[in-house]
Every structure is written in C-alpha cells, then in structure tokens.
Structure 1
Amino acid sequence: MAFEGLAERLQGTLDRIKGRGKVSEADVKEMMREVRLALLEADVNFKVVKQFINRVKERAVGQEVMKSLTPGQQVIKVVNEELQELMGGEQSKIAHAQKPPTVVMMVGLQGAGKTTSTAKLANHLRKKHNRQPLMAAADIYRPAAIKQLETLGEQLNMPVFSLGDQVSPVDIASQAVDKAKEEHNDYVLIDTAGRLHVDEDLMDELLQIKEKVNPDEILLVVDAMTGQDAVNVAESFNEQLGLTGVILTKLDGDTRGGAALSVKAVTDTPIKFAGMGEKIDQLEPFHPERMASRILGMGDVLSLIEKAQTNVDEERAKELEKKMRNADLTFDDFLEQLEQVRSMGPLDELLNMMPGMNKMKGLKNAQVDESQIGRVEAIVRSMTKDEKQNPSLMNASRKRRIAKGSGTTIQDVNRLLKQFEDMKKMMKQMSSMQKGKKKGKGGFNFPFM
C-alpha cells in the first residue's frame, strides 16, 4: 500500500507516547520532530508539513490534551484528526446535475492514466449509482487513445462517442453532450488530451472545451508515484482551469504517498477518487478519515465491509455460517469461500484494512503468497465431487491422483486435509462453547462469534 514507510514511522512514534499518563511539552516537541521527518520522507510538500506540525503542536500542548485522563491517547486522536483534515476532512462526492447530463471533463498529463480512469469512473457510476454514462473520446493526438477508450467501452458494454481524430476536440465534446441528451445518458465523461508537460496549447484547448460545454466537474487525473511533481501539476491545472476534484492513480503502488497528503492542502481541491489497481473495478471513492486510520494502523473496517457487501452473496454467506457452526463445511463450500474472498481484492490489501493486523506477531509487513492459495485451489479442484463432500474417502491412491492432477505433492494434499479437519474441529468446539455461554453455563467468549 502507499504510505507504508510513513505508516511505519508514525505508528512507531505514536506507540512510544500512547500509554503515558503524563505528556510534557518536551515529549510533544520530540514527537513532532519524528512526525516532521516521517512526512518529509514520504515526499509531503515542506510547507504542508510545517502547517501540519504547527496545528498538531498547538492542540497537543493545549487544555484538551494536558488536562485529559489519557494524554497519550489524546495526542494520537489529535494527529488522526489533523491528518484527516490535511486530506480534505470528509469524502467529497462527484457532482450530479439537476438537469442531466452531468458533464465531467477528465484532464491531466500524458501517462497519468486518464483514459483508463475515464472507463473506471464510468463503471463506478453505473455499478454504485445506477447511472448511464456516455464516454467521449476527445484525445485526438495520442496514437490509439480513441481505440483504447472504444475497447474499454466494449469490455464494459458502455457507449463511447467518437468522431475520429480529424475533428476538433471542442466539437467532439460539444456533440457528445448533445448525443447524451438525445440518448438520455445522465453523465458524459470527456477524455481530453494530455501532454508530457503543462503547456500553452494544451491549456488553450482545455479552456475552449470548458467554455463550450460548461462542465459540472473538472477532474485532474494524477499519478501518485510522481511525488512532488503531482502537486506541481495539480497546482498548475487548478490555477488555469479551476479544478473541482482530483483522481489519484497508482495509490496501490510502491509510492511514498506524499502527493495524496499534499494535493488538497496546496490546491484546496478535494481528492475524489483513488485508483487502487489496474483492473477496471479498482477505483474507490477517497475517504480522508479512512485513509488516516490506515496510515495510523487503526484499520479501515468500513471499506472492508463495503468490499464484502459488493462481492459476497449475503444469503449464501448465512448458509455457510450455519454450516460452519455445525461443522458441516465441505470442500465445495471452502472453494466458494475462497473465491468470494479473492474477489474482494489482494489478500495483503484486505489484511491492511483490519485494525491492528500490521502489529500482530508474524503479520507485520506480511506478504501473502497468492501462489500458495493457488496451489490449495488446484488441490481442491482436482478432487471428485464425492471427495469434496466427504474427505474421509481419501486413501493413498486417491491422494496420489489429486497430487498429480494439481501439480503438487502428496504431502501438500495431506497437509490441506489435516488443516481442513482441524478447522472443522475448532469450529465445532467454538460453536459448542458459544451455545454453553448462551445457556448460562459459562464457556469462553470468542469476540467474533
């Protein structure tokens, strides 16, 4: 995840002060020195760092902290709140015009991921808001830009408006809006041209499109991996066009994340979406409070729940829960569970969303081996229907056949069978303990049951 280095430094610094019953000004000063270094290392704009440190320091040595019963915890609360504020305070939603279509101009430099982000946003609007977007191919200069948007439109089964590369982008944008009105599309997403750097010709063209179609949103697509350059680009586009929002791409990559912490503060333009991967459905609304929690190691349970609600069948989940309680789980059920969890995204990303997981022994900086999960899946898929339903049927020849069919070893098959049986026994044990507890017979209290 982005911010990994920043998260580690901040969490280490805050952990040292967390349990203290008393916090002095010297403690706060020492902690702020560490926080400043952590932010600068993460490539946060130095002016933004200075303002942030001053705000936190002012609050941390004020009455709300010094007079509180848990000053260490209060300092963490202050850092969390100021971090949220730095990234925009609260989620900024995409505009929705009273009289459709809502016109959205997608702008940015070449290579930032503008065309892909246009398709991702269209997909998000349809899936999450039940909208009917029209994408407009107005980048006539980059080779294959029009074809790329058309291909993405075909993948999504979504309309793309194009007049080729011999018509001016201003006319394309204008006619796309007219087309959307005719076809009753409620959003028009205009994929405009980019350049390798900000120049006069680019801005002139974008200003002409803006004047012609009067967009409800002008969203700047910025590559988070470009660090401080992303902030400079955002500042330049904002000065000349008047941005309404930013989409940060590649926020899942190996980036220090400083751009995300600086863009809002420098331009006063909210980050509205974050690209969290290359797949067409990996665009998420940007929630400053959730991102602050993740940076400080408090998890992001709300995003985890939303992913589950999107990808998991609720009725089937209830059936599986009942089977798990009765220890009736089969390998078919196990496979289904595995597929549903994998559909939620990379497993290490899901672990990052769980509060405290990064601090658990053995899980800090854990890299989930997706190939290991693939091997487990291959073993289960090599079983017959009867074997999946009744693993006790397994004998030596069946195990040899499964190992051969899945490209694994007999030891791998034996290990999975043992783990599966152990899991079923544990579920049965936990379920009986929970029943005993409910009947007033005591029993161990499992927090997740």
Structure 2
Amino acid sequence: MFENLQERLGKTLKNISGRGRLTEENIKDTLREVRMAFLEADVALPVVRDFVKQVKERAVGVEVTKSLSPGQVFVKIVREELEKAMGEANEELSLNAQPPAVVMMAGLQGAGKTTSVAKLAKFLKERKKKSVLVVSADVYRPAAIKQLETLAAEVGVDFFPSDISQKPVDIATAAISHAKKKFIDVVLVDTAGRLHVDSDMMDEIKNLHKAINPIETLFVVDAMTGQDAANTAKAFDEALPLTGVILTKTDGDARGGAALSIRHITGKPIKFMGVGERIDALEPFHPDRIASRILGMGDVLSLIEEVEMKVDKEQAARVAEKVFKGAGFTLDDFADQLKQMKNMGGMMSMLDKLPGMSNLPDAVKGQMGDKTFIQMEAIISSMTKKERARPEIIKGSRKKRIAAGSGTQVQEINKLLKQFTQMQKMMKKMKGKGGMTKMMRGMKGMLPPGMMGGGGPKF
C-alpha cells in the first residue's frame, strides 16, 4: 500500500532541502506537489485541504536547528500531520466486558467481511489468548455460513451453526447464550453484506445491533475503493454506532486514499488492516508506523513483531548451532529459510518494512517476489536427498532432471546454486571472531548498489 504516494512524496520532499529557513515562498511549490500527490492517491478533498493547511501553518517561519536541515524539519512536520490524519496511535479492541464480549462486523458485500471475521478470530486467539466463538447471521447467502464454518475450523475456533430459515436476531442471541454457558471470551457476529447501502439492510442491522448490544461494532471496507470507502463508512456510521474500521485488501491498493480519508470523514479509528489473502494476514493499524512507510522510513517495529510471531525460533537455533559446530548449511536448511520467509508474507513484505526500500529498482523487486520463492522451493523439492546434502555433485544431467521436475530452466538451477553458495560462505563467516561483521560485508556484496551504501551502515 502507498507505493504511488511514497514515490511521489519522496521526490517532492527532496526538493526542499538545502534551505536555511522555511518560508511561505520556498515551501509553496512543495505544498502544491504534496496536494497533487494526495489527490492522485484518491484522498478525499476535505482531508487534503486540512492537511495542507496544517502543514503550512506549522512549517512557515520555523527556524532550522543546527543539527537539522530544512528538509528534515519539513518531513518531520509532514510525518506528524500524517499520523494525526490517521489517528495518531493504534486503538485496540475494547474487550473489557462481562464475557462474552460481543463484536459485530458490518460492511458491503465483497469487502472481505467473512474472511476478516476468521482473521480477527485467529488474532484474538493467538495474540490475545482469548477463546472465540464465530457465528454467521447472513441468512441471504448460504455459502457465507459454510465459508465461515470452514474458516473457523482452519483457525481452530468454535463455530455456532446457523440456517437461512432463521432470523438474524435469533441466531446471534442463541450464539451469545451458548458462549455464556461455555465461558467463551469473545463472540464475533458476521452480518449480511449488500451491494449498496439500502434502507431495508440498515433497518435489519439496526435491529440486530439493538438486540445484541455489541461492545465493538466494526465496519469492514475494501481499501481499493479509495475515498468511497470513507463515504460508505460514514453512511453506515449514521445508522450504527461504529467503534472502528477494518481496512481490507491493502496489499492490492497502491494509492492509500482510504487509509488517509476514513478517520477524518467518520471520526472512527482504523483498528486493523488486511494485508493479504493468508488467514494470518491481519495487522493492527498503527498510524505512526504507516506514516513512516509513506515517507520511505520503513516500519521496523512491525517487522520485529512479525519475526517474533512467525519465525520458528527452535528451527533457527538448530541451524545456528549446526553452523557454529562446522556441520555446514545445506539446501534443506535453505528451503526451511524460504518457508519461514513465505510465512512472513514473502521477501517483499519484509523489505517494504525496511527504510529506503522504496528506492529499489523494479527489476530488483521483481526478483524478490513470491513467484521467485515458489520457484526456488520447487527446484529444491525436485532434488534428491543426496543432492540437497551435497549440492557440489549437481552437474549437467542432474541439472536437466531437476529443471524438468520443477518446470524451470537449467539457468535457473544455476542461479539458485550460486545464491546458495553465497549464503553458505556468509554462514561460514559467522564462525570465529568478528563473525557478524564479516557476514554483513558478504551480504553487502550480494545486494544491489546503494542498498547498504550512502546513508546505510558501513562495514
């Protein structure tokens, strides 16, 4: 998300550097560019006006301290105003209620509501250690009930059965009653979506809300609809007392207009964002971290949290111990590393959270996509156990057999073996005095020019 805005703002903010003072005149052109960047990102016009006005008021006449350039002062102001526009800090779900805490999900059809229910259930179970019951009150779409049942089994939470012959209020109240008897912490109620906002739908959902009195009412909306997402959220908020928003499909939205418009237009916080199709691809929405990403500063905190949650530490420790004992780093170990990266959303998902990665050439990004990792896994899977343990024996005829088995070309086998050899050398450098520094030097040689040069660390 935000790729277009990130690129445009990055170029714009560079142009203001080298000034001794920020004045109305020398920031006028920059503010015009910022305004155009926001409009191209499909940010709602009232949001753009307020944002530009606030930045201008704060920036004009600000003296630059000795340690900062005017560009840095301006970027700091832009970052703080971005945070403010999106809500300043993450707002967690309010679950402090007599169990079960009831959470109702509302939204238009196709926004990813049912999937979001399952993702949220997984999040609450694994990150908040809550017992969760999910129930579908969508009596218009039998497939939705079956879909939720399947997803509930996949994430390992309780599912309360329902039927299209029942009334939504009866379904939800029965589920809550069941949860009380079973001492379940949270009930997630999935409601019917529609193709557009209509009075019948609003009356039905109002009645349901009144009957179950949820502690949280979350509006699920597709990020790719841009500022329309904010307008739809506002229409729902006028009918229901929304407590927050889940922004879905952010991985497919290069603009970011919805994220920057919703808080301003509805006054409701974005609490979560869906970042992919995987059932664990749901992240708490942190405005400060998102602002950093927009300005190309990365989001290292989210990356650290992701590593903590998704990396198999025991497996990593075993590989490290092998390397330090001199047992070597095999292609099986390499395949395990690829799987771990895939669990974290792939290499690009990780790199997006690192500072300066937006400047990577498209050709380099293309080599780091999910397709490349799937191909590498297929190549290693097509090798024999002996070949994975001793890759030096993989010569002409073996390469042809592996290429045929993995649906690739021989040159792709050569490329993977070369990358593996480089990684093996890096692992060897980890042993002995100054191992980490030596390894980082080796890494620098593998990376594209400029990634670890310039403002990056020196080794």
Confirm or deny a common fold (TM above 0.5).
yes
Q: Deviations over 1:110-130 (max 9, x none)?
A: 222222211211111112111
Tell me: CA distance 1:179–1:34, structure 2 relative to 1, closer, same or farther (3 Å). Answer: same
Which residue in the other structure is 1:331 paired with?
Answer: 331
- CA distance, structure 2, for counterparts of residue 159 and residue 340 of structure 1: 28
Q: 1:256 corresponds to which residue?
A: 255
Distance 1:170 1:333, change over 3 A: same
**Where does 1:133-282 land on structure 2 (aligned, <5 Å)?**
133-282=132-281
Query: Aligned equivalents of 1:64 and 1:370: distance in 2?
Result: 46
Identity of aligned residues (%): 53
Structure 2 unaligned regions, length at least 5: 439-443, 445-451
8 Å CA contact retained: 1:23, 1:66: no
Structure 1 contact 224–255 (Cα < 8 Å) conserved: no
The match for 1:56 is 55
Q: Is the 8 A contact 1:271 1:286 kept in 2?
A: yes
RMSD: 2.8
1:252 aligns to what SS in structure 2?
helix
- Which one is further off, 274-283 or 316-325? 316-325
- Give me the whole-angstrom Cα distance separating, in 2, the residues matched to 1:11 and 1:366: 21
Please report how far the alpha carbon of residue 172 of structure 1 lies from its aligned counterpart in structure 2 after TM superposition. 1.6
The corresponding residue for 1:356 is: 356
Separation in structure 1 between the aligned mates of residue 329 and residue 362 of structure 2, nearest angstrom: 28
User: Counterparts of 1:31 and 1:435 in 2: how far apart (Å)?
Assistant: 46
Q: Does structure 1 residue 413 correspond to structure 2 residue 446? A: no
Q: Is the 8 A contact 1:140 1:164 kept in 2?
A: yes
Cα shift at 1:307: 1.8
Residue in structure 2 matched with residue 386 of structure 1 by the alignment:
386
Partner SS, residue 80 of structure 1: helix
The letter for the 2-side match of 1:170 is V
Deviations 1:380-430 (Å, cap 9, x if unpaired)?
A: 223332332222334444444434433444443334333332333355457
Take 1:144 and 1:362, find their aligned partners in 2: how far apart are those partners?
40
Label 1:418 to 1:201 Cα distance change in 2 as closer, same or farther (>3 A). closer
The letter for the 1-side match of 2:128 is H
Is residue 274–residue 285 contact of structure 1 (8 Å, CA) maintained in 2? yes
Could you say which residue in structure 2 is the equivalent of 1:70? 69
The answer as to whether partners of 1:348 and 1:366 remain within 8 angstroms in 2 is: no
Shift in alpha-carbon separation, 1:204–1:374, aligned structure 2, 3 A: closer
Alpha-carbon distance between aligned partners in 2 of 1:54 and 1:86, rounded to the nearest angstrom: 12
1:366 CA drift (Å): 4.6
Q: Which amino acid aligns with 1:105?
A: M
Q: Is the 8 A contact 1:248 1:275 kept in 2?
A: yes
The match for 1:5 is: 4
| Aligned twin of 1:434 | 434
**Residues 92 and 17 of structure 1: is their aligned pair in 2 closer, same or farther, counting only changes over 3 Å?**
same
| Conserved? CA contact 1:106–1:190, under 8 Å | yes
Equivalence map 1:284-363=2 (5 Å) = 284-321=283-320, 323=322, 328-360=328-360
Code of the residue aligned with 1:347 in structure 2: it is: M
Give 2:115's aligned residue.
116
Change (3 A) 1:448 1:404: farther
Whole-angstrom CA distance in 2 between matches of 1:151 and 1:62 = 59
**Structure 1: distance between partners of 2:161 and 2:436:** 67
SS for the counterpart of 1:17 is coil
Mapped contact 1:225–1:254 kept (Cα < 8 A): yes
Q: Which moved more, 1:409-418 or 1:63-72?
A: 63-72
**Cα distance, 1:38 vs. partner?**
0.7
Give the CA deviation at 1:239. Answer: 1.9
Change beyond 3 A, Cα 1:178–1:11: same
Q: Match for 2:333: what amino acid?
A: D
> Which amino acid in 1 is paired with 2:161?
S
Paired with 1:112 and 1:417, the residues of 2 have a C-alpha distance of 42
Q: Quote the residue 2:96 is aligned against.
A: 97
Could you state the TM-score of these two structures normalised by the residue count of structure 2? Answer: 0.88
Distance 1:386 1:380 in 2: 12
For residues 101 and 54 of structure 2, the distance between their equivalents in structure 1, rounded to whole angstroms, comes to 38
Report the CA distance shift for 1:118/1:409 in structure 2 as closer, same or farther (over 3 A).
closer
CA contact (8 A) 1:357 1:364 kept: no
Q: Deviations over 1:224-256 (max 9, x none)?
A: 112222111111111221210001111111452
Report if the CA contact (8 A) 2:130-2:185 is conserved: yes
Q: Describe the shift of the 1:360–1:138 C-alpha distance in structure 2 as closer, same or farther (beyond 3 A).
A: closer
1:243 and 1:178 map into 2 onto residues whose CA distance is 23
Contact persistence 1:60–1:66 (CA under 8 A): no
Could you tell me how far 1:364 is from its partner in structure 2? 7.4
In structure 1, how many angstroms separate the alpha carbons of the residues matched to 2:437 and 2:147?
59
- Equivalent position SS for 1:99: coil
Decide whether the 8 Å contact of 2:142 with 2:164 is kept in 1.
no
The CA distance in 2 between the partners of 1:19 and 1:322, in whole Å, is 50
Report the secondary structure of 1:104's partner residue. Answer: strand
User: Structure 1 16/149 Cα, relative in aligned 2: closer, same or farther at 3 Å?
Assistant: same
Alignment partner, residue 375 of structure 2 = 375
Instruction: Report the CA distance shift for 1:201/1:254 in structure 2 as closer, same or farther (over 3 A).
Output: same
Structure 1 stretch displaced more, 60-69 or 286-295:
60-69
Whole-angstrom CA distance in 1 between matches of 2:374 and 2:113? 33
Letter matched to residue 97 of structure 2: Q
SS at 1:44 equivalent? coil
Q: Structure 1 residues 149, 361: closer, same or farther in 2, change over 3 A?
A: closer
Residue type matched to 1:104 in 2? V
Deviates more, 1:330-339 or 1:198-207: 198-207
- Tell which deviates more after alignment, 307-316 or 392-401: 392-401
Amino acid at match of 1:386: K
Query: Amino acid of the residue matched to residue 237 of structure 2?
Result: N
Give the corresponding residue for 1:441.
Answer: none
My pick for the range that moved more, 425-434 or 355-364, is 425-434
Q: Structure 1: where are the runs of 5+ without partners?
A: 439-443
Shift of 1:189: 0.8
Q: Deviations over 1:24-44 (max 9, x none)?
A: 321212111110111111111
Counterpart of 2:449?
Answer: none
Q: Distance in 2 between matches of 1:327 and 1:60?
A: 58
The offset of 1:192, in angstroms, is 1.4
Note if contact 1:100-1:187 (Cα within 8 Å) is conserved in structure 2: yes
Q: Which amino acid aligns with 2:88?
A: G
- SS at structure 2 position matched to 1:93: coil
